[in-house]
């Protein structure tokens, strides 16, 4: 299913809610709005998590002119992992204490970003995240300390399962080692300075404008715990964050990735969309005119791999 997707630029969720209401009022369009509403048909949409949303339904006297969906930002941290469906579901629950769910057409993440949208990161597909129960389709929002706790439980379990993972995936390597990939932006320069204690003994990293980019080769969980202990404790201390523990090994053809788990801070901006086949020409013309200066693309979210 296709949607018109709007470039949010730098406006906030509240700004967009107010501007959409102004547009509908100034055009004398009859409408209703539902907090928490989503336009949802099957799997062919941008996968919703727990971000706030408003669904505006626009009606004429005799017919429905269309709907406008607005979703809020999401800047929380989430743990993720490789294709955990190679394991029995109960094995994952016993090991981690959480349910693993595959990502749909998910927006706001850099990892596995297919670059299918000009205005948002995503869709990202082909990995799993963690839910509290089997009936929930999205992960809970956790304190950063709890997200790291999830990461270490998953990494410990995976690290002890490498032989079995290779058998399940049909991938066989020698000299398996774990690398730790990092890309961080800090809100305060002092946060990076604290890392000098551990970076003074390292190479293979790059200082960026506000943070750090690195691939630390052949690490163990003890070293990663030490690194994480030097990071700021609050989400607000980061401008962006991506961490990935990845197990690699050697084959006759060269180095090969076996499995991974990680953490990323989501970067979902206000998400504004209108379903193409449920939006009248009249409403779309008025919308484009009112929001002149905002780019609008047609976007299709159906991704076969996301349903696996």
Q: What is the per-residue pLDDT across 170-222, written as a single tens digit (0 to 9) for each?
A: 999 999 999 999 999 999 988 989 998 899 888 889 999 999 999 999 999 99
The burial of 171, by beta-carbon neighbours within 10 Å (0-12 exposed, 13-18 middle, 19 or more buried), is given as: middle
Q: Are residues 144 and 259 in the same domain?
A: yes
Averaged pLDDT of the chain: 92
Q: Are residues 65 and 81 in the same domain?
A: no
Angle at alpha carbon of residue 287, lines to 284 and 288, rounded to 5°: 85
- Residue whose token pair is 């700004």: 15
- What's the pTM? 0.91
Q: What is the per-residue pLDDT across 36-68, written as a single tens digit (0 to 9) for each?
A: 888 765 555 678 888 999 999 999 877 889 999
184: preceding bond cis by omega (within 30 degrees) = no
Residues spanned by the domain of 103: 77-265
C-alpha of 304 from chain center? 18
> Residue 65: which CATH number?
3.30.160
Q: Are residues 129 and 213 in the same domain?
A: yes
Q: Are residues 132 and 228 in the same domain?
A: yes
Q: Are residues 124 and 20 in the same domain?
A: no
Q: State residue 43's pLDDT score.
A: 54
Q: Are residues 245 and 186 in the same domain?
A: yes
Q: Are residues 283 and 258 in the same domain?
A: no
Q: Are residues 160 and 173 in the same domain?
A: yes
Number of domains in the chain: 2
Q: Are residues 140 and 164 in the same domain?
A: yes
Q: Are residues 32 and 142 in the same domain?
A: no
Lowest mean pLDDT among 78-87, 106-115, 294-303: 294-303
Given 233, 249, 265, the domain boundary residue is: 265
Q: What is the per-residue pLDDT across 208-244, written as a single tens digit (0 to 9) for each?
A: 999 999 999 999 999 999 999 999 999 999 999 999 9
């Amino acid at each position: 299913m296709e949607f018109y997707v709007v470039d949010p630029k730098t406006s906030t969720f509240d700004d967009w809610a107010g501007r959409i209401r102004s547009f509908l009022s100034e055009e004398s369009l009859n409408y209703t709005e539902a907090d928490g509403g989503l336009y949802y048909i099957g799997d062919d949409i941008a996968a919703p998590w727990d971000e706030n949303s408003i669904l505006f339904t626009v009606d004429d006297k005799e017919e429905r002119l269309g709907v406008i969906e607005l979703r809020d930002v999401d800047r929380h941290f989430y743990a993720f992992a490789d294709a955990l469906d190679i394991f029995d579901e109960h094995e994952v629950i016993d090991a981690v204490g959480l349910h693993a769910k595959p990502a749909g057409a998910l927006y706001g993440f850099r990892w596995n970003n297919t670059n299918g949208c000009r205005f948002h990161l995503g869709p990202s597909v082909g990995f799993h995240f963690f839910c509290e129960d089997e009936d929930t389709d999205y992960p809970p929002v956790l304190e950063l300390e709890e997200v790291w706790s999830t990461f270490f439980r998953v990494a410990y379990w995976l690290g002890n399962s490498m032989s079995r993972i290779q058998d399940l995936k049909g991938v066989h390597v020698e000299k398996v080692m774990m690398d730790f990939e990092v890309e961080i932006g800090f809100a305060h320069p002092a946060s990076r300075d604290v890392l000098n204690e551990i970076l003074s003994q390292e190479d293979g990293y790059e200082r960026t404008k506000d943070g750090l980019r690195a691939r630390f080769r052949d690490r163990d969980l003890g070293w990663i715990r030490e690194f994480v202990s030097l990071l700021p404790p609050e989400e607000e201390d980061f401008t962006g964050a991506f961490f990935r523990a990845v197990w690699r090994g050697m084959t006759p053809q060269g180095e090969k990735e076996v499995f991974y788990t990680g953490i990323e801070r989501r970067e979902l901006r206000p998400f504004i969309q209108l379903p193409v086949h449920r939006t009248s020409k009249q409403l779309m013309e008025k919308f484009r005119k009112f929001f002149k200066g905002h780019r609008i693309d047609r976007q299709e979210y159906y991704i076969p791999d996301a349903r696996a």
